[in-house]
Structure 1
Amino acid sequence: MSEKQVEANVPVKIMSFNIAHGLGMDGRVNLEKTALVIEGADADIIALQEVDRYFSSRSSFVDQVAWLGGRLGMYTAFGANLDMDPVRTGHPRRQYGNAILSKYPIKYVENHPLTPVPSDFGNNEQRGVLEVVVEMKGNLIHVFNTHLALKEEELKVSIDELLSLTKQCQLPHVLLGDFNAPPDHEGIGRLNRSLTDAFLKVKKGDAYTYPTRYSNPITGESYKPATRIDYIFSDDQLQAVGAAAIETAVSDHLPISADFILETAKTPVLPKAPSALQKI
């Protein structure tokens, strides 16, 4: 790739969405509704959390990554944090984790398991961060998509590992996903000292993302967003110029998006491919 092909001052729209395997607040799984929300946001790169791939009957054993990629006409990448034997011999493995959709080619994919901190109480689910590099108009953009644990001790360890990963990155990069921590959490503060929270940059830090606004027609219970636990962070090569939480009831989280300007075009250099690199 020659430098003549590299454009500067490129607008980039990036989205993060915990889709809860397509489970809406009405108690029904409807991946088409999820796709419509993603389509309506018109983002260039979309990071998804809680994605099923042949996982179970709850999502009809659908490969949600392939389904969404085909429905939206996008490139896809997936990181399985849960990887289990199939129900029947010869069937695909049952997987659950994070995915990335992109309008532009994905050149590099690696899934990093985060260090678990087991406890006798709560969920000991394996967590991870999906790393991809997207080629957009000659520029390479590094994307790190994660879904962190609720346990305080594990959050601390995971954030240390996320900072270690992003500090090694020389390309323009974003770190985004469901962090399961509010803005005043110590770990979020550490992330803000190394990266820029797009919502704070454009003065929309009160854009709450959880839970979704919803009124249950049967019980009469009402819910409304009460905290912000979903984030989009970037380095200084991506300048945030807009951010929004998107009102919808197709998941228990609101999706978020941020508009950036990639101001500095650099000669793109891919990371050194590890042995675990998924071939594209």
Structure 2
Amino acid sequence: MNPRIFSFLFLFVSLLVAAEETRSLRIMTYNIHHAEGVDGKVDYERIAAIIRKADPHIVALQEVDRETSRTQQVDQAKRLADLLNYQVVFGKALNFQGGAYGLAIMARGNIHSKCTFALPYRIGQEPRIVLEAKIELGDDWPLIQLFNAHLCHLSAETRLEQVQRMIQIIPKYTENLTLLAGDFNARPQTAPMDLLWKQGWNDCLETHDGIDYLLSSPGAKVQLKSSRIIQAPSASDHNPVFAELILNEDFK
């Protein structure tokens, strides 16, 4: 064989192999409004179908009921995880109607730890938390450290205080892949978000004027491959946000 042709074929095959080995992480955040759609119906399969179609590795959920009377004592995080074959952890923000209300994180891989952190709030406001999960997707993946938050909707001042507390909680530089997701109830140009931008957090949505976010930490060795707001207006009062991130080769 002509040496030049051989060299070209070798390079071509090498590029194909490298492309196959590229690790891309699919992640979603979704405020599910306790699975109640704008039509007033609580429908778990409707929520699950939206998630299933996007096929994320990891999902951050907000406004999740656990065994409350308004949703017939269903453990919503477990119900959705069972429908989608995910592992799941739940973090309680408050007691509600005989059960609990809070956040959840679902993942394809192993969730080997979780922790909840209280955020500041005032009398008359809902208690708020950050839910942290450490996730292993497989041997070829770094440990993923995901923080899921749902910030106050009543007060910009409280939201700013909650972001200040999150900055204290969440490490910016770590060997893990650190991500922050959730419903922040704040537009990108407002003071709470400006504080995160100044800290070096990166928005995973290329164009953004909403209040639901997927952020990568300043130390995250990732590149944005694609992102979108998934149009699903009937299933909840929020649309899910989805992003696909490419992990750099040196991210072990």
Would you call these one fold, judging by a TM-score over 0.5? yes
Alignment pair present for 1:195 and 2:201: yes
- Conserved 8 A contact 1:117-1:153: no
Which of 45, 49, 52 is equivalent to 1:32? 45
Listed as ranges, the gaps of 5+ residues in structure 1 are 1-7, 87-93, 207-227, 268-280
State the Cα deviation string for residues 68-98 of structure 1 (Å, max 9, x = none).
1111111001100013584xxxxxxx11100
Residue 72 of structure 1 corresponds to 84
The one-letter amino acid paired with 1:229 is I
Q: Give, as a single letter, the amino acid of the residue that structure 2 aligns with 1:77.
A: V
Aligned to 1:254: 239
Residues of 2 paired with 1:140 and 1:264: CA distance?
A: 15
1:124, 1:79 → 2: CA distance? 18
The equivalent of 1:137 in structure 2 is 138
Distance in structure 1 (CA, Å) of the matches to 2:55 and 2:36: 21
Moved over 3 A (4+): 264-267
**2: distance between equivalents of 1:63 and 1:113?**
22
Equivalent residue number for residue 94 of structure 2? 82
Alpha-carbon contact 1:79-1:111 (below 8 Å) kept:
yes
Higher RCO (CA 8 Å, separation ≥ 6 residues): 1
Indicate whether 1:153 and 2:157 are aligned: yes
What do you get for the CA RMSD once the two structures are aligned? 1.8
One-letter code of the match for 1:262?
L
TM-score by length of 2: 0.84
- For normalisation by structure 1, the TM-score amounts to 0.76
C-alpha deviation, 1:60, in angstroms: 1.2
SS in 2 for 1:71: helix
Q: Distance in 1 between matches of 2:45 and 2:212?
A: 22
Task: Tell me, yes or no, if structure 1 residue 116 matches structure 2 residue 89.
Answer: no
Structure 1 partner of 2:186: 181
- Which consecutive unaligned segments of at least 5 residues does structure 2 have? 1-20
Identity, % of aligned positions? 33
Structure 1: which amino acid aligns with 2:134?
V
Give the aligned length: 225
Q: Equivalent residue of 1:80, what SS?
A: strand
Q: Greater Rg, structure 1 or structure 2?
A: 2
CA contact (8 A) 2:149 2:184 kept: yes
> 1:50: Cα distance to partner?
0.2
